[in-house]
Structure 1
Amino acid sequence: MTDGHPTWQAAALLLARVLIAALFLGGAVQKAADPAQVQDLLAGRGWPVWLIWPALAFNAGAGLALIAGVAVTPAALALAAYSGVTSLFHLIPEDPWQMTIFVKNWAIAGGCLALAAAGPGPFALTGRVRPPR
């Protein structure tokens, strides 16, 4: 046991945080490396193209928070909402590839909600662990 969590559960929470964070950190890097692609998506939906920069900062900050185990519940809740909103860019029923991404975004939102409910687990920089239920 690690602070009330069986060792495998503590390791699973850490791995879940890192894997989900990797997706959002990768998204931040992609936005920085090729902003035109995301700006085209935004413009195509009538959204201001400057939104790429706060989205990049949010992706990076929330991803780092998950890895560090800091503010996991609010970060994961915000990422779940972000995943739901960004799924709308892929809601193109006539394109099976885009529909797969649409569904994948909702699956990621579900993983974020599970992280929000579970909290950081014992492997976190905060030093505080949510008591087991």
Structure 2
Amino acid sequence: MTRGHFDDGALLAARLLLAGLFLGGAVQKAVDPAPAMALLAMRGMPEFLVWPALAFNALAGTALVLGVWTRPVALALAGYAAFTSIFHFQPADPWQMTIFVKNWAIAGGLLALAVAGAGRLAWRGGR
């Protein structure tokens, strides 16, 4: 079965929208790492983990934009989104609980992308 133009366009849009979240997160961590560091400290984790998280967000987001290694990157990002939801599990704070639920929804979208792949509108490295 071949994919149609809509499918390829939808996969490109999915990649770009999801990548925007992670690229924005990388920029946010670079510009003002204190809030992310506070969330890490609140859960008893070392604050320096903000830097590998920034790198992972930036590299994985870029991979999604380009459509390279889409399946493994989307799978890794799904795990990352699920894991990072623990920082937002704060039942007394409705805003944090909204972010908690959104992280799981994002993980679901990333799992779907891991199944579907990049589509035809992806960088092919000269192919």
TM-score, scaled to structure 2: 0.95
| Matched residue type, 1:105 | N
Aligned residues: 125
Residue 78 of structure 1 aligns with which residue?
A: 76
| Matched residue type, 2:100 | F
Distance 2:35 2:95 in 1: 17
1:88 aligns with 2:118: no
Residue 17 of structure 1 aligns with which residue?
A: 15
SS of corresponding position for 1:14: helix
1:6 aligns with 2:4: yes
Distance 1:63 1:124 in 2: 14
Matches within 5 A, 1:45-64: 45-64=43-62
Q: Which runs of 5+ in 2 are unaligned?
A: none
Distance 2:37 2:97 in 1: 20
SS of corresponding position for 2:119: coil
Distance 2:9 2:33 in 1: 35
CA deviations over 1:29-75 (Å, ceiling 9, x no partner): 00000011111111111001110010000000000000100000010
| Matched residue type, 1:51 | L
Residue 41 of structure 2 aligns with which residue?
A: 43
Residue 131 of structure 1 aligns with which residue?
A: none
Q: Which runs of 5+ in 1 are unaligned?
A: 128-133
Distance 2:39 2:58 in 1: 20
Cα RMSD of the aligned pairs, angstroms, is 1.2
Distance 1:97 1:27 in 2: 17
Shift of 1:4: 2.1
CA deviations over 1:74-114 (Å, ceiling 9, x no partner): 10000000000100001011211111100000000000000
